Amino acid sequence: MNTPLRRLSLVVALLFALLLGSATWVQFVDAGDLRDDPRNSRTLLAELGRDRGPITAATGEVLAESVPAEGPIAYRRTYPGAPSAATWAHVTGFYSVVYGATGVEDALGSLLAGTADELFYRRLSDLVTGREPSGASVELTLQPEVQEAAAAALGDQRGAVVALEPSTGRVLAMVSSPSYDPGELASLDTEQVRQAYARLLEDDTDPLVNRAVAGDLYPPGSVFKLVTAAAALETGDYTPQSVLPGPAELPLPLTTISLPNVSGEACGPGDEVSLADALRISCNTAFGSLGLSLPDGAVADEAAELGFGRALQVPLRVTPSTYPEDLDEPQRALAAIGQGSVRVTPLQVAMVSAAVANDGVLMAPQMVASVNAEDLSVVDAPEPRELGRAMSEDTAAALTEMMELVVQDGTGTAAQISGVDVAGKSGTAEVGDTDGDGSPEDPHAWFTAFAPAQDPQVAVAVVVENGGDAGSEASGGRTAAPIARQVVEAVIGR
Closest CA to 224 of 76, 323, 92, 317: 323
Per rule CB under 8 A, is residue 20 in the interface with another protein? yes
Q: How far is the CB of 17 from another protein (least distance, A)?
A: 9
Per rule CB under 8 A, is residue 254 in the interface with another protein? no
- Please identify, using beta-carbon distances, which residue of 20 and 376 lies nearer to another protein: 20
- Please identify, using beta-carbon distances, which residue of 129 and 377 lies nearer to another protein: 129
Task: Pick one of 67, 127, 201, 378: the residue that binds another protein (CB under 8 A).
Answer: 127
* DSSP letter (8 states) at residue 366: B
Per rule CB under 8 A, is residue 22 in the interface with another protein? yes
Stretch that binds another protein, among 28-36, 337-345, 465-473, 486-494 (CB under 8 A): 28-36
Q: Within 10 Å of residue 163's Cβ, how many Cβ atoms?
A: 31
Q: How far is the CB of 338 from another protein (least distance, A)?
A: 50
Q: Within 10 Å of residue 356's Cβ, how many Cβ atoms?
A: 32
Per rule CB under 8 A, is residue 24 in the interface with another protein? yes
Per rule CB under 8 A, is residue 9 in the interface with another protein? yes
Per rule CB under 8 A, is residue 257 in the interface with another protein? no
Q: How far is the CB of 100 from another protein (least distance, A)?
A: 19
Stretch that binds another protein, among 4-12, 74-82, 179-187, 424-432 (CB under 8 A): 4-12
Per-position x/- string for 79-118, each x denoting binding to another protein as judged by CB under 8 A, each - no binding: ----------------------------------------
Closest CA to 80 of 89, 72, 71, 68: 89
Q: How far is the CB of 47 from another protein (least distance, A)?
A: 11
Q: Round to whole Å and give the CA distance between 202 and 345.
A: 23
Task: Pick one of 30, 189, 237, 401: the residue that binds another protein (CB under 8 A).
Answer: 30
Task: Pick one of 60, 68, 71, 130: the residue that binds another protein (CB under 8 A).
Answer: 130
Burial class (CB within 10 angstroms; exposed 0-12, middle 13-18, buried 19+) of 487: buried
Stretch that binds another protein, among 43-51, 212-220, 438-446, 470-478 (CB under 8 A): 43-51
Q: How far is the CB of 67 from another protein (least distance, A)?
A: 19
- Please identify, using beta-carbon distances, which residue of 12 and 198 lies nearer to another protein: 12
In sequence order, what DSSP letters do the residues of 252-316 get, joined into one string?
A: PTTSS-EEEPTTSS-SSGGGEEEHHHHHHTT-HHHHHHHHHHSPTTHHHHHHHHTTTT---BSSS
Stretch that binds another protein, among 26-34, 197-205, 350-358, 421-429 (CB under 8 A): 26-34
Do 311 and 318 meet the contact criterion of CB atoms below 8 Å apart? yes
Task: Pick one of 26, 67, 257, 378: the residue that binds another protein (CB under 8 A).
Answer: 26
Dihedral over Cα of 196, 202, 206, 209: its sign = positive
- The residues with which 386 forms a beta bridge, in sequence order, are 363
In sequence order, what DSSP letters do the residues of 50-117 get, joined into one string?
A: SBPPPEE-TT--EEEEEEE-SSSS-EEEE---SS-HHHHHHHH--EETTTEE-HHHHHTHHHHHT-SG
SS3 content of the chain, % helix, strand, coil (to 5): 40, 20, 40
Q: Round to whole Å and give the CA distance between 68 and 71.
A: 10
Dihedral over Cα of 344, 387, 362, 170: its sign = positive
- Please identify, using beta-carbon distances, which residue of 46 and 381 lies nearer to another protein: 46
222 is catalytic: yes
Stretch that binds another protein, among 35-43, 313-321, 391-399, 473-481 (CB under 8 A): 35-43
Q: How far is the CB of 19 from another protein (least distance, A)?
A: 5
* DSSP letter (8 states) at residue 410: S
Q: How far is the CB of 108 from another protein (least distance, A)?
A: 23
Per rule CB under 8 A, is residue 5 in the interface with another protein? yes
Stretch that binds another protein, among 40-48, 253-261, 336-344, 472-480 (CB under 8 A): 40-48
Per rule CB under 8 A, is residue 42 in the interface with another protein? yes
Do 391 and 233 meet the contact criterion of CB atoms below 8 Å apart? yes
Q: Round to whole Å and give the CA distance between 165 and 355.
A: 10
Site size toward another protein (CB under 8 A) is: 38
Q: How far is the CB of 95 from another protein (least distance, A)?
A: 20
Per rule CB under 8 A, is residue 4 in the interface with another protein? yes
Alpha helix segments (H runs only) across 176-274: 182-185, 190-202, 225-235
* DSSP letter (8 states) at residue 134: B
- Please identify, using beta-carbon distances, which residue of 46 and 378 lies nearer to another protein: 46
Per rule CB under 8 A, is residue 195 in the interface with another protein? no
Site for another protein in 197-226 (CB under 8 A): none
Task: Pick one of 27, 190, 235, 263: the residue that binds another protein (CB under 8 A).
Answer: 27
At residue 363's C-alpha, the angle toward residues 362 and 367, to 5°, is: 145
Q: Round to whole Å and give the CA distance between 400 and 410.
A: 14
Burial class (CB within 10 angstroms; exposed 0-12, middle 13-18, buried 19+) of 303: buried
Per rule CB under 8 A, is residue 409 in the interface with another protein? no
- Out of 134, 222, 274, 289, the active site residue is 222
Residues assigned a catalytic role: 222
Binding region for another protein (CB under 8 A): 1-6, 8-9, 12-13, 15-16, 18-20, 22-28, 30-35, 37, 39-43, 45-46, 127, 130
